[in-house]
Amino acid sequence: MNIHEYQGKQLLRANGVPVLDGVHCTTVDEALAAYDKLGSKVVAVKSQIHAGGRGKGNLYDPNNGDLVMEGGVKIAFNRSEVKDYAEGILGNILVTIQTGESGKLVRNLYIESGCDIAHEYYLALLVDRENKSVMIMASTEGGMDIEDVAHNTPELIHKISIDPNAGLMGFQNRDLGLALGLQGKALKSFMKMLAKMYAMFVTNDCAMVEINPLVKTADDDIIALDAKVSFDENAEFRHRDWDELRDLSEEEEVEIRAKEAGLSYVKLDGNIGCLVNGAGLAMATMDVIKLYGGEPANFLDVGGGANEEQVKTAFSIILEDPNVKGILVNIFGGIMRCDIIARGVIAATEALSLEVPLVVRLAGTNVDEGKAILAESTLNIHPADDLAEGAQKIVELIGGGV
């Protein structure tokens, strides 16, 4: 689960990590009031969306698609610039390298005081899957795309791995600061900051905290100038406050509804809807559709114990997508019995008066009963014995690929 920069900074501040003063705004008037309140002559006017690459992104008018402004993060040197930039950002569509072409409507703005930057660093805390531990990664090459740094100059990226029982140890913290070339007051500030940030990472069940850039000021203070914070959704049960931080407008509405129904759904750009049990098999089903010349319209995992109602919800969610020209159901019954799935499929197609072609592949527990139920139905359901046959059939039925 992602949160906005302004929320990430509230969290950092509450945990004792130095950030600059800033105000979250949703209107131009609020932005101007924020400027007056901050009392800093120079401020940053920052678009708040969940995707990265905001600074290099462009803003477009949502009505006519015209370019409104270049750059989603601006430095304003006076009040009238704050007004111009806020107007250019709020209510417009920000397209960045991470948003895709359709971009994101910007509803939130962050006005932040300026500071005197001596050097920009990169810092990230994340869970390292291979070492099965929290990893802290830092580089002197701040403000740049870290993937480029990792690719071109890997020696400039320094990593430490944290023993979960010992926590971040002083020597590790110091080594990392020294590797960044910090000394004296700046090194002390860095170590104090990082200890607090690690504690915040653990107590808040973060999945990632990325600060790019982390800056050293002219006074040797260390400040988080940006904040990209995400949480591990599995830990939601012990963080009631996440509900308030969640910006539903940043998430796909249909994916949220699917989740509420116990389904895992991701919309894609193709035209063949998929309904599958199990995440791995659901991915494999998409892959095989593509292999036989089709394009999957979605990923959909109905889970291990889906009932008739969930199958129906799954069908209706798939059919909401106007691109869907056909549906492939692929179920390997384990705990889930094929006869129950077959009944669910029939009930759903009747209730939704399905018009697109439907191919159903069943295997596993009670497969013969399931197939018999489908065969008895008068509905236009095409059976398939294996995944390859199912994929070939549905591609053929919709008249080939996209």
Partner 1 sequence: MAIWIEEDAKVLVQGITGKQGMFHADKMVEYGTNIVGGCTPGKGGQTVELQSRKFPVWNSMTEAITATDADATVIYVPPPFAAEAIMEAADAFDSVKGEGVIVCITEGIPTLDMVKAVAYVYNRPGVRLIGPNCPGIITPGESGGAKIGIMPGHIHAKGRIGIVSKSGTLTYEAVAQTMSIGEGQSTCIGIGGDPVNGTGFIECLAAFEADPQTAAIVMIGEIGGTAEEDAAAWAAENVTKPIVGFVAGATAPPGKRMGHAGAIISGGKGTAEEKFAAFEAAGIACAKDPSELGSVLLESLKKAGLR
Cis preceding linkage at 357, omega within 30 = no
Shorter beta-carbon distance to partner 1: residue 186 or 276: 276
Between CA 127 and CA 125, with CA 166 as vertex, the angle to 5 degrees is 25
Catalytic residue among 6, 35, 121, 122, which?
122
Catalytic residue among 210, 265, 292, 295, which?
210
Bridge-based pairing state of the strands 358-364 and 381-384: parallel
Site for partner 1 in 284-323 (CB under 8 A): 284, 286-291, 296, 299, 301, 304
CB of 180 vs partner 1, minimal distance in Å: 21
CB of 185 vs partner 1, minimal distance in Å: 32
Asked if 296 and 290 count as a contact pair (C-beta separation under 8 A), the reply is: yes
Segment near partner 1 (CB under 8 A), from 80-88, 240-248, 330-338, 374-382?
Answer: 330-338
Shorter beta-carbon distance to partner 1: residue 229 or 289: 289
Q: Which long-range contacts (CB under 8 A, 24 or more apart) does 6-12 make?
A: 6/48, 6/108, 6/110, 7/229, 7/245, 8/209, 8/227, 8/228, 8/229, 9/110, 9/224, 9/227, 11/200, 11/204, 11/227, 11/229, 12/197, 12/200, 12/224, 12/227, 12/229
CA distance 134 to 164: 8
Q: What is the largest CA-CA distance in the chain?
A: 81
Q: Does position 132 bind partner 1 by CB under 8 A?
A: yes
CA distance 13 to 9: 6
Q: Does position 147 bind partner 1 by CB under 8 A?
A: yes
Active site residue 122: yes
Site for partner 1 in 62-101 (CB under 8 A): 98
Q: Does position 345 bind partner 1 by CB under 8 A?
A: no
User: 154, 170, 171, 237: which one contacts partner 1 (CB under 8 A)?
Assistant: 237
Site for partner 1 in 205-234 (CB under 8 A): 205, 207, 232-234
Active site residue 112: no
Q: Which residues are catalytic?
A: 122, 210
Contact residues for partner 1, defined by CB under 8 A:
98, 127, 129-130, 132-134, 147, 163-165, 202, 205, 207, 232-235, 237-238, 264, 266, 268, 276-284, 286-291, 296, 299, 301, 304, 332-335, 363-365, 386-389, 391
